[in-house]
C-alpha cells in the first residue's frame, strides 16, 4: 500500500475514501479532541495525532508517521477549515486561523515534496479576495480595487504557495459522482513536477437527467429505501417551528407552500425574514424525496437552512446524515448530538474521496515509481 498523511482529518470521510482507494494513512492529524475520539473508536489501528498543524514541521511529520526519511511520502490530503472563505463568513481569507493553517499545509507540502497532494475547501475560495473591501466602499466614487481586493486573488495566492507542483483545480458537485447530495466543493490537486504529468479529474458518473452515458442522480428516496435503522437521533423543532413544518407538503416543499393558508399566515411564520432578500429556499424546507439532498449543514434544524425529512415532522437524523455522506451505519460518533452533526456535515463524502484517490494513484503511476 502507498502511504499518505492526512491533516484536518475531522470524522474521517476523506481519509476513509483515500484508504479504500489504496492509500495507507500513516498519520491523521486533527486538532479537536472529540473528532480524534471518533477516529480512534472506528479505526483503532490508525495513527491519530491530536494537535495543531501550525506547531508541526517536516521533522515532526516523519517522526509521528514513522515513515523513514529516506522514503518518499506519496500523498498529503486535507480539507482545511473553510469559514474564512465562505460568502456567509467574515471573509478574513488567510488572516484567520483557518486560512493560516491552509498556508502552513502548503508550506509543509513544499518542504516535504510528497508525490501528490489534495486540498478541499468551499466554493467561495474561487472568488474570495485576499483583502475584502466592503460593498459601500466600492464603485465610481471610490478608488479602484487593489490587486489583493480583486475576486480570485486568494486562490491565486494559495496556488503560488505550492512550489514544485503542476496543479489542477475544479469545483465538483458530489451528486455527479453518485453521492445523494448536491454538495459543491473546490478540490485542488497537485502532482510533483518530476512526474511530468497533470492530474485529470475523474469523469462524472451521474447527472440530473442521466444523459450522455451517465446515471441519474441518487435521490433521498434511494437513501431512505436502503437505510435500516431502528432508532433515529435528531434535533427537535420548537413547538412553533413544528406547527408550520407539519403544514409543508409531504415529499418536498418549503415556506412558499404556506401561501395556501394566506399571506398573513406566511408573514407570521417567516417573521423578519419575510421582507429579506434572496430566495429563502431553506426556510421550512422539507426535502424533495425525488432529488438528492442539498449540502448537509452542521445543524439541520437551522431556520434558514432547514433540512426537514421528506415525510416525518423532524430534521434529518444523524443516521441519515451518515448514509448521505457514505459513512457506515454503525460508524460511532463521539460527542454531543450537535457535535456529531458537525462532524458528518463537514466531512468529504467517502465515495467522492475514493474516486479522487483512485485517480491520483493512476496519475502518479505508483507501480513505476515505488519499490515494494
Residue by residue, pLDDT tens for the chain (372 residues) are 799 999 999 999 999 999 999 999 999 999 999 999 999 999 999 999 999 999 999 999 999 999 999 999 999 999 987 665 555 555 556 777 778 999 999 999 999 999 999 999 999 899 888 887 777 777 777 887 777 788 889 999 999 999 999 999 999 999 999 999 999 999 999 999 999 999 999 999 999 999 999 999 999 999 999 999 999 999 999 999 999 999 999 999 999 999 999 999 999 999 999 998 888 999 999 999 999 999 999 999 999 999 999 999 999 999 999 999 999 999 999 999 999 999 999 999 999 999 999 999 999 975 455 433
CB atoms < 10 A from the CB of 256, how many? 14
What pTM value is reported for the model? Answer: 0.92
CB atoms < 10 A from the CB of 342, how many? 21
- Cα distances from 32 to residues 10, 13, 102, 133, 194, in angstroms, run 8, 15, 16, 32, 36
Among 132, 95, 116, smallest CA distance to 187 is for 116
Architecture, CATH, for domain 220-338: Alpha-Beta Complex (3.90)
Q: What are phi and psi of 117, to 5 degrees?
A: -145, 160
What are the residue numbers of the active site?
Answer: 82
Domain ranges within the chain, ordered by starting residue: 2-211+347-369, 220-338
Residue 370, pLDDT score: 44
- Cα distances from 113 to residues 5, 97, 166, 368, in angstroms, run 12, 24, 12, 18
Instruction: Report the DSSP beta bridge partners of residue 206.
Output: 215
**Pair type for strands 165-173 and 75-79:** unpaired
**Pair type for strands 184-192 and 116-122:** antiparallel
**Pair type for strands 75-79 and 116-122:** parallel
Q: What are phi and psi of 265, to 5 degrees?
A: -65, -40
Q: Look-up: residue for cell 407552500?
A: 257
Residue 132, pLDDT score: 76
- Cα distances from 11 to residues 14, 33, 188, 330, 361, in angstroms, run 9, 11, 21, 14, 23
Architecture, CATH, for domain 2-211+347-369: 3-Layer(aba) Sandwich (3.40)
- What is the C-alpha to C-alpha distance for residues 356 and 13, in angstroms, rounded to an integer? 12
Residue 93, pLDDT score: 63
Residue 366, pLDDT score: 53
Biggest alpha carbon–alpha carbon distance for the chain: 72
Amino acid at each position: 500500500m502507498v502511504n499518505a498523511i492526512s491533516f484536518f482529518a475531522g470524522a474521517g470521510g476523506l481519509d476513509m475514501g483515500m484508504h479504500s482507494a489504496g492509500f495507507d494513512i500513516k498519520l491523521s492529524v486533527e486538532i479537536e479532541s472529540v473528532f480524534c475520539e471518533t477516529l480512534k473508536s472506528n479505526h483503532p489501528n490508525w495513527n491519530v495525532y491530536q494537535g495543531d498543524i501550525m506547531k508541526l514541521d517536516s521533522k515532526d511529520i516523519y517522526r509521528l508517521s514513522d515513515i523513514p526519511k529516506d522514503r518518499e511520502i506519496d500523498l498529503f490530503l486535507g480539507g482545511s477549515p473553510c469559514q474564512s472563505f465562505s460568502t456567509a463568513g467574515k471573509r478574513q481569507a488567510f488572516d484567520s486561523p483557518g486560512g493560516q493553517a491552509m498556508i502552513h499545509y502548503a508550506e509543509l507540502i513544499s518542504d516535504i515534496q510528497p508525490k501528490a497532494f489534495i486540498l478541499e475547501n468551499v466554493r467561495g475560495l474561487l472568488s474570495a479576495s485576499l483583502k475584502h473591501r466592503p460593498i459601500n466602499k466600492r464603485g465610481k466614487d471610490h478608488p479602484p480595487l487593489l490587486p489583493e481586493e480583486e475576486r480570485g486573488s486568494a486562490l491565486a495566492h494559495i496556488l503560488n504557495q505550492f512550489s514544485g507542483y503542476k496543479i489542477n483545480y475544479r469545483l465538483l458537485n458530489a451528486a455527479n459522482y453518485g453521492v445523494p447530495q448536491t454538495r459543491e466543493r473546490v478540490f485542488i490537486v497537485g502532482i510533483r513536477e518530476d512526474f511530468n504529468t497533470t492530474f485529470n479529474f475523474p469523469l462524472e458518473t451521474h447527472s440530473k437527467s442521466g444523459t450522455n452515458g451517465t446515471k441519474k442522480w441518487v435521490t433521498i428516496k434511494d437513501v431512505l429505501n436502503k437505510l435500516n435503522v431502528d432508532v433515529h437521533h435528531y434535533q427537535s423543532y420548537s413547538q412553533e417551528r413544528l406547527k408550520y413544518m407539519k403544514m409543508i407538503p409531504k415529499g418536498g416543499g418549503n415556506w412558499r407552500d404556506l401561501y395556501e393558508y394566506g399571506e398573513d399566515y406566511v408573514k407570521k411564520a417567516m417573521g423578519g425574514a419575510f421582507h429579506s432578500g434572496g430566495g429563502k429556499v431553506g426556510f421550512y424546507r422539507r426535502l424533495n424525496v425525488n432529488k438528492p439532498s442539498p449540502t448537509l449543514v452542521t445543524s439541520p434544524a437551522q431556520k434558514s437552512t432547514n433540512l426537514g425529512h421528506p415525510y416525518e415532522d423532524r430534521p434529518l437524523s444523524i443516521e441519515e446524515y451518515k448514509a448521505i455522506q457514505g459513512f457506515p451505519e454503525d460508524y460511532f460518533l463521539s460527542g454531543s448530538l450537535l457535535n456529531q452533526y458537525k462532524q458528518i456535515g463537514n466531512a468529504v463524502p467517502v465515495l467522492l474521496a475514493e474516486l479522487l484517490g483512485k485517480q491520483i494513484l493512476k496519475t502518479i503511476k505508483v507501480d513505476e515509481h515505488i519499490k515494494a
